[in-house]
Chain A
């Protein structure tokens, strides 16, 4: 049944070579954990991406109820967690994945660093990876404010205050981050905007480059 559907589409679009190229290519022996158990370290990047898909999916669903205004943010989060069927699971996946992705990113980076896999000819992919690290940090920083509870409020107060320590332009940075002197409605709205539009856009673009370069250059050889 599935085979026939696949065949039907393939007859029309010739997708077979594309599918093969994307999912049906051999894994090099030195990165295959079934052959070398220590090769499990090569999974860290893939696991990071897996958690990223969890975050994107649960994040999209969370926007269904969450409202980023000071008078509704806290209550809508409480509504999601306490009143919706399985809402605590959906929010829980997002919450724990947020911590999980930071851990996986660091492990992935350590592996690449320890193996020297960032060296020529892969410097550009390392740089894209650093960009992705910044994006993940940005997600963490902006997402932390959204529940609009005491912890979120004061953590962001401190976090944005740090920017004001930059010489000369510090105060302007603070105003840009907060959208005003104090943390408030404008801050919450712009953090939300970054969290669900700008950063995901950047993440998807950089991930595309990251993966294309891996395919183009191959996975670096054994030490």
Chain B
């Protein structure tokens, strides 16, 4: 790269690439090839979890046989969860409301304010959160209190009397 030039030799032609420089480039190119053959798999492997599509899955959450329309009910169900190489079933809960047309609404059981578990109050026909007095109506809308948004809905469907909730 910085070859010491013999002072007697004529000044080098700047448009000419010296053999030394050419070979230097060659070695650099081969080195870069090897480095990327190794580097590309390594980077792909390291960022792989970010490239993965989230797997969505219906979890079976039991029968809705005894459910009254417009009568919110809290259910417990188990869902399959995959955490890297750890596969397990986790206990989950949700609030379920049957609608008149056979539709179903399912709410995440955590209050949208700071995540407390709320309950249904039949006399006031509202969901009440004990932590900071958040109140939601049966459609999940905030009636009063600090919650910033309506209750979170989970995608759900009923098939042959069984409730399915979307996971993930």
Q: Which residues of A contact B (CB under 8 A)?
A: 3, 6, 16, 54, 57-58, 61, 64-65, 72, 75-76, 78-80, 83-87, 89-90, 93
Q: Across the interface, do B38 and A57 meet the contact criterion of CB distance under 8 Å?
A: yes
**Interface contact A75-B45, CB-CB below 8 Å:** no
Contacts of B45 in A (CB 8 A): 61, 64, 80, 84-87, 89-90
24 contacts between A and B (CB under 8 A): A57-B38, A57-B42, A58-B38, A58-B42, A61-B42, A65-B84, A72-B85, A75-B85, A75-B86, A76-B84, A78-B85, A79-B85, A80-B45, A84-B45, A84-B48, A84-B49, A85-B51, A86-B40, A86-B41, A86-B48, A87-B45, A90-B41, A90-B42, A93-B38
How long is the Cα–Cα vector from A4 to B130 in the complex, in angstroms?
67
In addition to A57-B38, A64-B45, A78-B85, 10 A-B residue pairs with Cβ atoms within 8 Å of each other are A6-B1, A58-B42, A61-B45, A65-B84, A65-B85, A72-B86, A76-B85, A79-B85, A84-B45, A87-B45
The residues of B that contact A84 with a CB separation of less than 8 Å are 45, 48-49
Least CB distance from B151 to A in Å reads: 34
Question: How distant is B38 from chain A, measured CB to nearest CB, in Å?
Answer: 6
8 smallest CB-CB distances across A and B, nearest first, come from A79-B85, A75-B85, A85-B48, A86-B44, A89-B41, A86-B41, A84-B48, A90-B45
Query: Which of A6, A90, A93 lies at the interface centre, i.e. has the most chain B CB atoms within 10 A of its CB?
Result: A90
Interface centre among A54, A64, A86 (most CB of B within 10 A): A86
Inter-chain contacts of A87 with B (CB < 8 A): 45, 48
Q: Which residue of B lies closest to A53 (CB)?
A: B38
- Complex CA gap A65/B84 in Å reads 9
Give Cα A85–Cα B40 distance, bound, in whole angstroms. 11
Q: Mark B140-165, 1 if CB is under 8 A from A, else 0.
A: 00000000000000000000000000
Chain B stretch 39-94: residues in CB contact (< 8 A) with chain A = 40-42, 44-46, 48-49, 51, 84-86
Find chain B residues with CB under 8 A from A3 CB: 1
Cα A56 to Cα B6 in complex, Å, equals 43
Chain A contacts for B46, CB-based, 8 A = 61, 64
